[in-house]
Amino acid sequence: MKSLLRISKIISIYFSFFLLIFSTNPLAAQSDRHNEQFGNTLNLGLGIGYYGYITKSTPAFHADYEFQVANNFTLAPFITFYTFQNSYYWGNPNYPYRNYSYRQSVIPIGVKATYYFDKLLEAGNKWDFYLAGSLGLALRRNTWESGYYGETNVSRGAGNLYIDIHAGTEYHINERLGLFVDLSTGISTIGAAIHF
């Protein structure tokens, strides 16, 4: 719960900062945002995932492809991958009590729904701002060290349902390439957006 409050504060500060910049920028309202298209975009990102049950963050790779389905609204099939090593304390009368190491690999797959606020914020044509939500499944695989015969499900509270909430921005370098920052409750990424 504390981590969700911390993330929501960061997102609030982030958007307040950008609102302040664009509300005082006379050039921001000059571009016509009424006909901007947001689909046909491949987003490739590297980032960090936050998982309470492993008590640390872990690197992640994310890819999605956006299709525009309505004005200012896109849907994007996505795939993410992360892996980490951790330990689990276990033992019984036949095996010594100690920390046994394991590697968990996770592949979330699903759909990300994104709404763009460029028109509302009167953002210049170099910037996009959005809120999004992801829904999907998280496929998990654990590999244990030799000699461990205990419970193999160590992802307490982490079921197969994958839900993530995002807030982000993209800076357009040119018509075909942009750089984005995507802050979320699960996996936050920075990366490149390739527009087709």
What are the sequence ranges of the domains in the chain?
41-184
H/E stretch holding 8: helix 2-23
pLDDT for position 14: 46
Q: In the beta sheet, which residues pair with residue 139?
A: 107
Alpha helices in 24-94 (DSSP H): none
Q: Which is more confident, 9 or 92?
A: 92
Is-contact 62 45, C-beta < 8 A? yes
End-to-end CA distance of the chain: 40
Of 165, 167, 194, give the one whose Cα is nearest residue 179.
Answer: 194
- What would the pLDDT profile of 117-154 be if each residue is shown by its tens digit? 999 998 888 999 999 999 999 998 889 998 888 878 77
- What would the pLDDT profile of 82-129 be if each residue is shown by its tens digit? 988 888 888 988 888 999 999 988 899 999 999 999 999 988 889 999
Q: In the beta sheet, which residues pair with residue 180?
A: 170, 191
Strand 127-144, strand 95-116: pairing: antiparallel
Of 147, 151, 195, give the one whose Cα is nearest residue 170.
Answer: 195
| Residue 167: half-sphere exposure toward Cβ, Cα within 13 Å | 12
Q: Which is more confident, 48 or 26?
A: 48
CATH of domain 41-184: 2.40.160
Burial 102-129 (b: 16+ CB within 10 A, else e): bebebbbebebebbbbbeebebbeebbb
Helix and strand element counts for the chain (H, E):
2, 8
CA 21 to chain centre: 25
